[in-house]
Structure 1
Amino acid sequence: MITPALSTTARIAARASLPLVALGAALLASPAHADVAEGWSNPADVDALHALLLLGGVPVLLFVLIGLAVYIPALVRGEDVSPTGGTVESQWIGGPRHAKELASGDTESSETGGAHGSW
């Protein structure tokens, strides 16, 4: 479906209403300034340092504890937990262990080596 182009008047009206829309969005996003309802508690303000330690320290502590839970059993068994693991060999998952195990297509009657394209 092809929509017709907006008229010049409609475009001018749309551009003129942008500041009004922005002001309305800002007013809707501002916090409400109301008293606490009757019967509700009015808790004390939270200290910024306490909030930072709670919201930042707890996730970091969990990260460290999970990391220790993963690495300590391997270290107790005497395994190498370095990223390289000592010696690293290239792996082809699901393929042969060594490139020497691949059959080569030396002759034209060989059935190995890709899509048998011909002219």
Structure 2
Amino acid sequence: MTTIASGNWNESPWQPVREGISRVVFAMEADSVCCTIGRVENGNEVKPHTHPNEQIALVLEGECDYYVDGVPYRLKPGSWVTVPSNVEHYIHVYDSPVPCLQMDIFTPDRPEYTESYSQFIKDVK
């Protein structure tokens, strides 16, 4: 049986990730995709990284430079960039008028995010 889920990330607790970055993981019931909302503050800790997942990064509020394979993409509300599998990337927020709210969509699923966020929710309660 297919699980249908619904919610509101504005009502979910924000999990600290590292200096200047917190997130909400949502739609954890999906089988082959992982969705997060990240809140990234000016002066966030920059952490270039790669992963085997494909990713779409969308900006909902604020502004950032999103580096993919060494190329900066200036993103503002409504902007998005794709990140191919195993390509180095990172977000840098340094002059945004408000924290950058960014949605990430990953495929395939990232069970480590679901597990970490599920444990975070248990610890918060």
**TM > 0.5 fold call:** no
Greater CA radius of gyration, 1 or 2? 1
- TM-score class, shorter: under 0.3
Scaled by the length of structure 2, the TM-score of the pair is 0.16
Scaled by the length of structure 1, the TM-score of the pair is 0.17
Structure with the bigger percentage of helix: 1
Structure with the bigger percentage of strand: 2
